Structure 1
Amino acid sequence: MGNTTSHKHEPTVGSDHDHYRHASPPISPGSPLTYSPQIPMEPISRAEEVSSNRGAPDFHGVACWPAQPKVVPVVIQWSHGGTHVEVEGSFDNWTTRQPLQKSGKDFTIIKLLPPGVYQYKFIVDGEWKYDPNQPAMYDEMQNVNNVIEVHEYVPENLEGVSGFEPPPSPPSSYNCPTPVADDYAKEPPAMPAHLQLTLLNVPPALDAQAVLPRPQHVILNHVYCQRGQNVQALVVGTTTRYKSKYITTVMYKPKARRRVLENNNLRSD
Structure 2
Amino acid sequence: NGRHDGTPTHSVCFVWNSGREGEDVELVGDFTSNWKDKVKCDHKGGSRYEAEIRLRHGKYYYKFIAGGQWRHSTSLPTETDEHGNVNNVIRVGDIARIRPAPSQLQIRDPTVVKVIERALTEDERFLLAFAARRMAFAICPIRLSPKQ
Q: What is the TM-score normalised by the length of structure 2?
A: 0.57
- Give the alignment of 1:33-48 within 5 angstroms: 33-34=2-3
**1:102 correspondence with 2:56:** no
The one of the two structures with greater contact order (alpha-carbon pairs below 8 A, sep at least 6) is 2
2:71 aligns with 129
* Partner SS, residue 76 of structure 2: coil
1:249 aligns with none
- Give the alignment of 1:1-269 within 5 angstroms: 33-34=2-3, 69-82=7-20, 83-91=23-31, 92-105=33-46, 106-151=48-93, 218=147
The ranges of structure 1 where at least 4 consecutive aligned residues each deviate by more than 4 angstroms after the TM superposition are none
CA contact (8 A) 2:64 2:70 kept: yes
User: What do residues 205-241 of structure 1 show as CA deviations (whole Å, max 9, x unaligned)?
Assistant: xxxxxxxxxxxxx45xxxxxxxxxxxxxxxxxxxxxx
Gap runs ≥5 in structure 1: 1-31, 37-67, 154-193, 196-217, 220-269
CA contact (8 A) 1:136 1:147 kept: yes
User: What do residues 9-67 of structure 1 show as CA deviations (whole Å, max 9, x unaligned)?
Assistant: xxxxxxxxxxxxxxxxxxxxxxx81277xxxxxxxxxxxxxxxxxxxxxxxxxxxxxxx
Taking the aligned partners of 2:60 and 2:82, their CA distance within structure 1 comes to 14
Gap runs ≥5 in structure 2: 96-144
**Aligned pair in 2 of structure 1 residues 78, 35: CA closer, same or farther (>3 Å)?**
closer
CA contact (8 A) 1:35 1:116 kept: yes
Taking the aligned partners of 1:34 and 1:126, their CA distance within structure 2 comes to 30
Taking the aligned partners of 1:125 and 1:35, their CA distance within structure 2 comes to 30
Greater radius of gyration (CA): 1
**Aligned pair in 2 of structure 1 residues 123, 35: CA closer, same or farther (>3 Å)?**
closer
Alpha-carbon shift at residue 95 of structure 1 (Å): 1.4
**Aligned pair in 2 of structure 1 residues 86, 70: CA closer, same or farther (>3 Å)?**
closer
* One-letter amino acid of the counterpart of residue 127, structure 1: Q
More strand by share: 2
Taking the aligned partners of 1:70 and 1:99, their CA distance within structure 2 comes to 19
* Partner SS, residue 114 of structure 1: strand
RMSD, aligned CA: 2.5
Alpha-carbon shift at residue 81 of structure 1 (Å): 2.1
* Partner SS, residue 7 of structure 2: coil
